[in-house]
Amino acid sequence: MNTGTLTLIIFVAILLQVVIAVLIGLYRRKQQYQDLVSRMSELQSATSNTAATVSSEVAAKAPPAWQGFKDFVVQRRVMEDMAESICSFYLVPVDGQPLPSFKPGQFLTFNLQITDPITCEIKSIVRCYSLSDRPQPDYYRVTIKRVPPPANQQDIPPGCCSNYFHDHVQEGAQLSVKAPSGHFYLVEREPLPIVLVGGGIGITPMLSIINTLLHSGSSREIWLFYGVRNGTDHIMKRHLEVLQQTHANFHLHICYSRPNEADKEGVDYQHRGHVGIKLLRLTLQLKRYQFYVCGPRAMMESLVPALETWGVATDDIYYESFGPATLPKHKRAKPQISKPDAAQQAITVTFSKSGKNISWNPDVESLLELAEDNGIEVDSGCRAGSCGSCQTALESGEVDYTQDPDADIEAGHCLLCISKPKSDLTLTA
Ligand SMILES: Cc1cc2nc3c(=O)[nH]c(=O)nc-3n(C[C@H](O)[C@H](O)[C@H](O)COP(=O)(O)OP(=O)(O)OC[C@H]3O[C@@H](n4cnc5c(N)ncnc54)[C@H](O)[C@@H]3O)c2cc1C
Ligand code: FES
């Protein structure tokens, strides 16, 4: 054996030892990682059970929800921002009875009697407002933003109900309120870390979720990304800061899109700009989270699909859009594209009061959208089957619901916002 061969053998032997050592190291790392994951999921499961027990205990002690509208009195009003355009209303029941619990993220439906400034007629108007605090036995809280006229259209009246609340609903005023409802709420069955994204007034359901989880002692990881214009519009600033200082599992990220000169980056806010997918990708670890998103239409329309493109499972994204311009349901991938049924295309919807016969378009989301697209006036509030304001008499035919209605439906009626025709229909509208 010459020197060259010996050197080669020694080199191969060393290389083999290195490879074996690396493989053993990798195997041990994998074992440690698997142990960690299983310990974390045991821990998370224990934590979630505690949180679930706390909220189910509250729900178990609480009385059942009431039917229809119930009278409440405004006990307290609190301005929540420097601009004084966002006000919290603390509501206590006139009958003094303990209140039914709710799922954090749900909303209340109000029926207001408002005098039209032009015709002087009293109109009954229905609007929904999210509960903005954790469930309490003695009061509910809603937080309402005064809605101005659209930009550069000062001749248009400002938002009717929100301004009515700010200007006329003083402490001591009575309000007609439907029991809490809605499908956008904290899912407690899975102990995943959660990411809450609130844009503007879309922070309100997130406040309820945060207050509930942190008060229950849950150690579930909570990330809040709150997007707002600047310090003038920033609501419950101190409350959120205190929560961050006192709870290691609560991570607060404030984004100002147009900071004021007095707003200090790193003190008043952490990021300049809107909350977007780039920020989430830079901040969050690569693991599974539940995402809850609520904010202006533009934010929802870009963020929800971007989360899916990033690889977040559709089932881990929960979202709600406020206001009449609700987010068109994001089309989820279907295994196969079915041709529109010929029978579906041939359906005619008759609006008897308006005297209009309209062919059903299978691309339209709901009968409410069909009515609005054709200039037929129909009341609406939540557009999610909860408030009941789009309830319309069904003279003939049948409808299919796209989701389970929360509102009680009178016999011979249907909720236009979540239904599609099953056959030719005649509606009293
Ligand atoms: C589930 C749910 C939860 C919600 N939670 C909250 C919450 O927690 N806090 C909150 O503040 N809001 C919340 N909202 C929104 C709230 O329900 C109302 O939509 C909001 O307050 C506006 O109602 P409004 O009556 O003041 O405005 P509207 O009278 O409905 O007016 C809306 C906008 O239209 C403009 N407008 C009026 N007339 C015309 C016209 N003729 N032509 C063109 N534009 C016109 C107004 O100037 C205004 O800008 C929630 C909505 C939903 C569905
Ligand atoms: S708009 Fe609220 S139930 Fe249809």
CA of 322 to the centre of ligand 1 (A): 8
Taking the C-alpha atoms of residue 361 and residue 349, their distance in angstroms, rounded to an integer, is: 10
CA of 205 to the centre of ligand 2 (A): 19
Taking the C-alpha atoms of residue 177 and residue 114, their distance in angstroms, rounded to an integer, is: 15
Q: Give all domains of the chain, ordered by start, each with its CATH number.
A: 70-180 (2.40.30.10), 194-320 (3.40.50.80), 342-427 (3.10.20.30)
Pocket test for ligand 1, best of 112, 127, 209 (most atoms within 8 A of CB): 127
Closest atom of ligand 2 to CA, residue 386: 3
Residue 112 near residue 164, CB atoms below 8 Å: yes
Pocket test for ligand 1, best of 77, 156, 169 (most atoms within 8 A of CB): 156
The whole-model pTM stands at 0.80
Q: DSSP of 109-153, one letter per residue? A: EEEEEEE-TTT--EEEEEEEEEB-S---SS-EEEEEEPPPPPTT-
In this structure, the chain runs to a length of 429
CA of 147 to the centre of ligand 1 (A): 6
Closest-CA residue, ligand 1 atom 17, reads: 128
Residue 261 near residue 232, CB atoms below 8 Å: no
Taking the C-alpha atoms of residue 398 and residue 421, their distance in angstroms, rounded to an integer, is: 6
pLDDT per residue, tens digit, the chain (429 aa), is 677 788 888 888 888 887 777 676 556 655 544 444 444 444 444 444 444 444 555 566 778 999 889 999 999 999 999 999 999 999 999 999 999 999 999 999 999 999 887 788 888 888 999 999 999 999 999 999 999 998 888 888 899 999 999 999 999 999 999 999 888 899 988 889 999 999 999 999 999 999 999 999 999 999 999 999 999 999 999 999 999 999 999 999 999 999 999 999 999 999 999 999 999 999 999 999 999 999 988 898 899 999 999 999 999 999 887 754 333 443 333 333 344 555 556 899 999 999 999 999 998 989 999 999 999 988 887 777 878 889 999 999 999 998 878 777 899 999 999 999 999 999 999
For residue 328, give the 3-state DSSP assignment: coil
Taking the C-alpha atoms of residue 155 and residue 148, their distance in angstroms, rounded to an integer, is: 11
User: Looking at residue 56, what is its pLDDT?
Assistant: 54
Pocket test for ligand 2, best of 382, 402, 420 (most atoms within 8 A of CB): 382
Residue 244 near residue 230, CB atoms below 8 Å: no
